[in-house]
Structure 1
């Protein structure tokens, strides 16, 4: 396979409430000049995990799809502007902030005319769905992929209970005890949390370096993660607590593909309301994957996403 062309850049992002100049770092996998069709924009999870772990999406630049992908670090993480002084400021770290950043990047790259697809993974799926719900007629938006992005945080937490029950008793008891004591930083908690991650976040051993980079981003600056989510995947005390995005999902006009893994921390319970509510939707569950099917079942994942983006059938509804 020929070497994947890549381009890196930065775009100024005006955030008056930040009190300082801000920028968004982006990386393009593939060439925008060598292709003419819509571009895929990938929204990473965390929030705050950064762009690196979504690098397999560069596979879509190969034939027969020939789709370039734009990765970027959302504000507050990676190589974009950090705002540690905004830790705990729920009003600042709003959906509006991240939607403005996304629109700023789209306009900077002049993607409205040629069109773009959105693929959001985990928190990125929540962000992508929110963008499509709030801007159903957004110029250029062609299709949406929600990969492991819960439709409901209460249902996400409900589904997690069934996953936690599957862990070894000593691991489960450690997590429960630490949570009762508000201990989410000790070595014993982190060790038990890694067992959860191995089962329901990414089952590969060793973890790909790009996935490790996501954990490193979260560790080096947990500002956004702590404010929006909380101290762990299964402890949600941040601003997204109680979120029920599916209630507005009927507003999504574009064709939508739902993805999750059989052992995904975002269980079918948390994905189903998207399927029930979004008018033009398809749902695929990867039997050999957890939360990072783009790594765990990479070939099939790219085929499912590529075929969906290339398809012209606007009314397929299939689980």
Structure 2
């Protein structure tokens, strides 16, 4: 069970609403740990275990990005609306509305790591540290490495995937079934999948607008608006201490993470040996240890 929230609700983001959840005391004196989830188009649920850091005095803020979960859904909006800038502006608005823009740490997971890096590159005065977890530095790098991982799938699997991708039938049950060997090896290696992870998958399936527009039909068939996007050029502008986290079996392979390590000035990188894309669920004790060490070092 996760700790009960100390507050939750929605705050305005222009004409829309952002759902948030706070665990702990935002006035504790320690920076708030703001959790930026992946997708794009997922929800906060699969990262709820990070609420445990409230027990060490770090107030933890989860929120749902626009278009999913408890935040405003906009299924009628098209590709010109769903941009990285939209989600950066939503994050800025959340920090202001919660009164934590002068003292916070960002934790960005997967797509959330790219967002958090772009935010950090603007050098906001209240940012104390950055955690980039399981994140590629660019989608062109991601696609390059997806081909490597796909070629390692069991015989025949990639052929099924390629056939449906070429035909535009990625909504077929056969395509969905063929995805599973990849997801079980490179996304989450726990069987059965944890309830928090399943909750986010269900939310994404309930409204796939953001994921389908920005990403595409699957993790490794990125044909959406993000296909040419990345934050490699922003990495040198990150001026706060930065922790990189990835899993040895991660779909975000070392090649996709390397630019962060090469270009962010104050950076350390921890690879969790028994994890793929969800180390906080797959190796929670080691993950928590790495996080606690990093957070303590920010004080």
Whether 1:197 aligns to 2:183 is yes
In structure 1, the residue matched to 2:74 is: 83
Show structure 2 runs of 5+ residues with no match: none
| SS at structure 2 position matched to 1:169 | coil
Q: Spell out the pairing of 1:157-176 with structure 2 (5 A cutoff).
A: 157-176=143-162
Quote the Cα distance in structure 2 between the aligned partners of 1:5 and 1:217. Answer: 20
Alignment counterpart, residue 112 of structure 1, candidates 98, 101, 109: 101
TM-score, length-scaled by structure 2:
0.96
Alignment counterpart, residue 216 of structure 2, candidates 218, 222, 230: 230
Alignment counterpart, residue 45 of structure 1, candidates 38, 52, 68: 38
| SS at structure 2 position matched to 1:85 | coil
Whether 1:181 aligns to 2:167 is yes
In structure 2, the residue matched to 1:95 is: 84
Q: CA deviation at 1:194?
A: 1.9
Distance verdict in 2 for CA 1:47–1:189, change over 3 Å:
same
Q: Spell out the pairing of 1:293-308 with structure 2 (5 A cutoff).
A: 293-308=279-294
Q: CA deviation at 1:299?
A: 1.1
The answer as to whether partners of 2:104 and 2:128 remain within 8 angstroms in 1 is yes
Distance verdict in 2 for CA 1:184–1:40, change over 3 Å:
same
The answer as to whether partners of 2:128 and 2:298 remain within 8 angstroms in 1 is no
| SS at structure 2 position matched to 1:145 | strand
RMSD: 1.6
Distance verdict in 2 for CA 1:297–1:186, change over 3 Å:
same
Q: CA deviation at 1:184?
A: 0.9
Quote the Cα distance in structure 2 between the aligned partners of 1:3 and 1:70. Answer: 13
| SS at structure 2 position matched to 1:59 | helix
Distance verdict in 2 for CA 1:312–1:104, change over 3 Å:
closer
Whether 1:11 aligns to 2:11 is yes
The answer as to whether partners of 1:5 and 1:31 remain within 8 angstroms in 2 is no
Q: Spell out the pairing of 1:184-263 with structure 2 (5 A cutoff).
A: 184-263=170-249
- Structure 1 stretch 120-129 or stretch 150-159: which is displaced more? 150-159
TM-score, length-scaled by structure 1:
0.90
The answer as to whether partners of 1:27 and 1:70 remain within 8 angstroms in 2 is yes
| SS at structure 2 position matched to 1:253 | coil
The answer as to whether partners of 2:129 and 2:298 remain within 8 angstroms in 1 is no
The answer as to whether partners of 1:203 and 1:289 remain within 8 angstroms in 2 is yes
Show structure 1 runs of 5+ residues with no match: 15-20, 314-319
Alignment counterpart, residue 23 of structure 1, candidates 13, 17, 34: 17
The answer as to whether partners of 1:49 and 1:214 remain within 8 angstroms in 2 is yes
| SS at structure 2 position matched to 1:9 | strand
Q: CA deviation at 1:103?
A: 1.1
Aligned length: 299
Whether 1:129 aligns to 2:117 is yes
In structure 2, the residue matched to 1:18 is: none
Distance verdict in 2 for CA 1:49–1:244, change over 3 Å:
closer
Distance verdict in 2 for CA 1:165–1:31, change over 3 Å:
same
Q: CA deviation at 1:144?
A: 0.5
Q: CA deviation at 1:32?
A: 2.3
The answer as to whether partners of 2:3 and 2:23 remain within 8 angstroms in 1 is no
